[in-house]
Every structure is written in C-alpha cells, then in structure tokens.
Amino acid sequence: MKQDKGLALVVVLVMVLIFLSIIMAVVLSAATALRRASQVRDKFLALKIAEAGIQDCLYWMNYKGYWNHHYPSHYSYTLAYFRGSDYAGSDTWVTNQVSFRPAGFLEGSCTLYLEDNSGFDQDRIVSTGSYRGRTATVEVRLRGLNGRDNPSHAGGLFLCDWNGSESRVATWGIPEVFNKHSLYTYDLSCSSGTVNGNLAYKTTGDTTILRSLPGTKTITRDEGIYTIPPWDYFPVLANLPSFPSFPSPPSTFDLQFDKRTDQNGNRWDTYYRFGTVDMGSKLWYFDNTQSPPPGQVISQSISLVWGGNPPGHLHITDENNGRIFQNYLLASDGAVYFETSITCDTRQVAFVSQDGFSFTSGISVYCTNDGWLALNRTTSGSLTITGNPASNVSVKDGAFFTGSGITSQNLSNWSIDASSTPDKLALFVSTGSATFNTCTIKGMSAAGSGVSSLTFSNCTLDGSSTDEGIALVVTGGAATMTNCTVKGTIVVQSSGTLTLNNTVIEVMKEKSGAAIITRGKLAFQNNARVKGLVLVLSETGSLDCHLQSGSVEGGMAVKGQLRLAGGTVSYLGSLHRQVSSVFQTFKGGRRVYLPVVGSWRVY
C-alpha cells in the first residue's frame, strides 16, 4: 500500500511538470508572437511613414513648392535631402542627411532624398521610414526629363514653367492637361456623344445633358479648386524644323542661251552636246542626238530665253541616258517637259519656268546627295501639270518642293518617299492652294506661311521615319483631309481650321503621344478617328473643337470651346503610361511630377 502511495505521488509530480511545461511553452509562444506582431506592426508603420514621405515630397513638388522653388537637384548635384512640406524655412532641400515626421504620425521619422540621374524617367526618390527601431525603405522613379539632365530646369527655372514671369518653355515633368483626363477644356458645350474617363471643365451650357452622356466618367468643374491650374495655362508646341528656303538663282548663269547659242556663241546642239534645237517649233531638247555618254551630268547653271510669242520650251527626254542635274535651270519664257526619269543631285537643283511643267506618266525622279525636285515659276501662277496624263510619278529619296511663284497646284497619284534621307523631309508647299489626290508621302510634309489651303483626298501620309514622328506641319492656312490615313503627328501652326473627314490618324507611340497639335480650330466629321493626344490651342470661344462624329482614343485638351455633338472620347492608359518621352512634343503648360508606373520598390 505504501509503495502504491509513493508511485501515485511520482505520477502526480510528472503530470504537474508536463502541465507546467505546456503552460510555459504557451506563454513563451504567446510572448514571441506578441513580439513578432509588434515588430511587424512597427515595420508596417515604418513602411507607411516611408510611403507618406514620398507623398509629402510629391505634394511639395506639385503644389506647395511648385510656384517659387527649384527642382531639388538645383540645391545639390549629389543627393538632395528633404525636410518635409511643413518645414517653415526656405532651405527645404539640403546636402546633409536630415529627417522629418510626415503629417498624421505621432511617432517615427522619415529620411528622404532625391537622386538626379540622366535620361527620361530615371530620377529616384528614396524614402526610409523609422518607427521604434524598425525601418523600411521605399523608392520610386519620377516621370520626365528633369534636373541636371535638362539644363533649363536645373539652371534657374522653378518647378513650374517660369522664373518670375511666364516663359512657357518647360519640357520637364509631364503636362497636367493629359494627366488622367480624357477631356480637359475651358468651355464645354454638348448635345450627344460618349465620354470614357475623367472630364474637367471651367464652364458649360447644360450640366444635365453633360451628366446624361453615355460612358464611364468623373466630372470635375473648377469652382476655385486649388488643384486645377489657371485655364489659360496650357502647353504649346515644341520646336520644329524650320521651313527651308527655295534655292536661289545664281547671280550669273554659267550658260545663257538665246535660241541656239549661248553668250559665247557656242551652239546648244553641237559644242555642249546636250541635245538638239528645233528652230521652227522653238524647242530645246535634252536627248541623245549627239550621243552623250549615259548618265550625263549637267553641272552648269543654265538660262534659256527664246523670246517672242510663242515662247521656247524645254523637253527633257532620252530614257537611256537619264540626265543628272546638279545646278539651277531657268526656262524663263517657256515650259519644261519631263519625259524621262532624271536624277536631282544636291539641293542646288531647281527647275524654274514661266509656263509651268509637264510630267509623263510613270517617270521617276531620283534624288541623291540630299537633293530634291524643286519647281517654281518666274512669275506667280498655277503649277501646270499636263502630260499623258501626269500620274504615277515617283520622287525617290528626296523631297518635292514648290516655290513661292506657284500659287496653285493639283497633283494626283504621286509617290514621294524621303524615308531614307537624313532629315526625312518629303513635301514642301510654299504658297497658294494645293490639292493632292491619291498620293503616298513618306516623310514629313510641310505647308509654308504663304499657303492659303491644303487639301488631301485618299492620301497616305507616313511620318513614322521622322525623328519626332511628325507627318504634317501646316504653318499657313487651313487643311482638309478626306478619306486619308496618317501615321504620325499633325501640327497646325496657323489659325486655320483642320477638318478631318473619314480620316484615320494614329500617333507613333514610341516617338510621341501627340496625334494633333493645332493653334487653329479642329473639326471631326464622318467617323474621323484619332488615336493619340489632341491639343487645341484656339480660344475664339466658338467651336474651337467640334466633335460631330468619330472617336479620340487617348485624351483631348481644348483651350477654348469644345462642342461635343457625337462621337466618343476615351482615356487610353496604355499610351499615357509609357515613358515620358511620349510627351516631348509638348512644352510649357502646368507640369506635374508623378511616379513612373511600375517603378515602386520596397526593401
């Protein structure tokens, strides 16, 4: 019996030890879990402090410090440390490491610096939050070509677009008018249509109609809200290549032919072996009567004056020998007939006549050494295109350039390809009115300040080969495009109206986000479709942009009145989220500093 009592005592003691061990294990586990939970909480709060530091920095850059402070690298070319948006002094950014406490936190601190790197979207904000001994670091890249990599930004201008007065030169950050907006306009007038995305406006005629429009939209009206900038503060166009000058005639021509002979008494058809002269019909010929070698080079500047009525005309013929022109040719009282393929070598080549030009169907003009086909008249008049007919004419590896003496022209079925040339310049119209039907143009086209109207029908304009992706620049007059396809950006520098009629414009996204930039009015008709950003700087207050039919995928900003009477406007995130170089066509305007999508890192 005594032995059983002793055994029972041992069993009880063992049981007690086991229970004590379990209790101790539970207590220790709970304590460890509490410590880990505390550590996780502290780490989480440190992370939130780091994130709040970045938001505080972006708030200071976009609002509090925007109007009268410089980009941080202006104060330090190495690492610039931030003192927080609540800092009352003027030296918000310093070279030495400092910390601050973002608003909303009773404990903890944040150390944040900006690192200025070269290239688009490469500047970094690195923020480290600390809370009760735990730290977390968050970094993000800023959109834009900012700071030291953009000299005017680091060299004196503020975070905004000026240094004491409006300069409208900003190329840093991104333009706010295209930040999350499908429509951004001063005056909105609407009767129908669809809007997908954010919509911001200053005034509107009927908010009931606006809110009843189909689509998914967020509507913001400016009623003194600080986040919306002044409505006259819009971006403008970045610099473009200047319109070239037409080749100038030489002060003295190398050869000056009066009928058959030149100033030295040498005959056209014998001494120079250029061709033949028909004295009865008053015609000069570049042909093979004198059997010149193939590919004969015409390097002299030549003036042809027959005199009298009818005047003398020049025929460039002889397919087999294909003349190579290197200089100025003036047919001062007649016409020039292009009846064979030729080569224009260098940009000194120009053909100038009194009675116009004729092109035989199917011929080609080959341009070498950056040459072009340049045509002009000795006195103002129409560009006469006659022939058999004048269709299927090709200008290869160069530009087609009409001078100021040509007041009207109408070309059909032409092909101009400058995509392989150094400057990609394909078409220049200096003055007057010009109509192009069923033409294909590869490279940049441009209308000079003297042009009154420009019309394209059933044409293809391809600016994909140009550095900025620009297909057409209009510096004078109005432009109309019907049943056309445009690959690249259209820029209208004049106050004329750009009318799009069943025309498709698609921006070259890898080069620019801008599909249309115009200082004049813009009209969409008959299912015109644009894929890219549209900026209308006209501010007449009446139909500055009239969307009657069609669609815009990307975003539209109108400085004056937008009339929405049909069609669809949609925000295209895939375009906006690319690298900031898609905004490089725009300069000036309110700029914003935003994180690069997908650049957030936590460690």
Residue pLDDT, tens place only, 125-139: 999 999 999 999 999
Q: How much is the pLDDT for 68?
A: 85
Which structural domain range is residue 131 located in?
33-168
Q: How much is the pLDDT for 237?
A: 82
Is the same domain home to 163 and 255? no
Is the same domain home to 264 and 163? no
**How confident is the prediction for the chain on average, in pLDDT?**
87
Is the same domain home to 281 and 136? no
State the DSSP H helix or E strand holding residue 208, giving kind and residue range, or none if neither.
Answer: helix 207-212
Would the pLDDT of 116 be above 90? yes
Cis peptide before 310 (omega within 30 of 0): yes
Would the pLDDT of 553 be above 70? yes
Return the higher-pLDDT residue of 394 and 153: 394
The position carrying tokens 């007939």 is 337
Q: Which among 434, 431, 429 is positioned nearest to 444, based on CA atoms?
A: 429
Is the same domain home to 154 and 261? no
Is the same domain home to 109 and 258? no
Is 238 a member of any domain? no
Would the pLDDT of 487 be above 70? yes
Q: 224 falls in which pLDDT band (50, 70, 90)?
A: very low
Least confident residue range of 123-127, 407-411, 430-434, 508-512:
508-512
Is 340 a member of any domain? yes
**Residue finishing a domain among 404, 419, 434:** 419
Is the same domain home to 376 and 268? yes
Neighbours of 429 (CB within 10 A): 26
Is 140 a member of any domain? yes
Is the same domain home to 44 and 162? yes
Mean pLDDT of 554-568: 92
Is the same domain home to 150 and 259? no
Number of domains in the chain: 2
Mean pLDDT: which of 237-246, 439-448, 583-592 is highest? 439-448
pLDDT tens, residue by residue, 424-471: 999 999 999 999 999 999 999 999 999 999 999 999 999 999 988 999
Q: How much is the pLDDT for 227?
A: 44
Neighbours of 231 (CB within 10 A): 18
Is the same domain home to 269 and 160? no
What is the separation, in whole angstroms, between the first and last Cα of the chain?
A: 69
Is 445 a member of any domain? no
Is 601 a member of any domain? no
Is 75 a member of any domain? yes
State the DSSP H helix or E strand holding residue 50, giving kind and residue range, or none if neither.
Answer: helix 2-59
Is 302 a member of any domain? yes
**Residue finishing a domain among 383, 398, 419:** 419
For residues 76 and 96, give the distance between their C-alpha atoms in angstroms, rounded to a whole number.
10
pLDDT tens, residue by residue, 148-171: 888 878 777 788 887 666 667 888
What is residue 559's DSSP assignment? Answer: E
Torsions phi, psi of 336, nearest 5? -115, 130
Is 67 a member of any domain? yes
**Residue finishing a domain among 168, 187, 219:** 168
Residue 467 three-state SS:
coil
Return the higher-pLDDT residue of 411 and 444: 444
Q: Are 581 and 106 in contact (CB under 8 A)?
A: no
Q: Which residues lie below 8 Å from residue 463, measured CB to CB, with a gap of 6+? A: 424, 443, 444, 469, 470, 471, 472, 486, 487, 488, 489, 508
Looking at the chain, the whole-number percentage of residues with pLDDT higher than 70 is 91
Q: How much is the pLDDT for 383?
A: 67
Is the same domain home to 58 and 161? yes
Q: How much is the pLDDT for 289?
A: 55
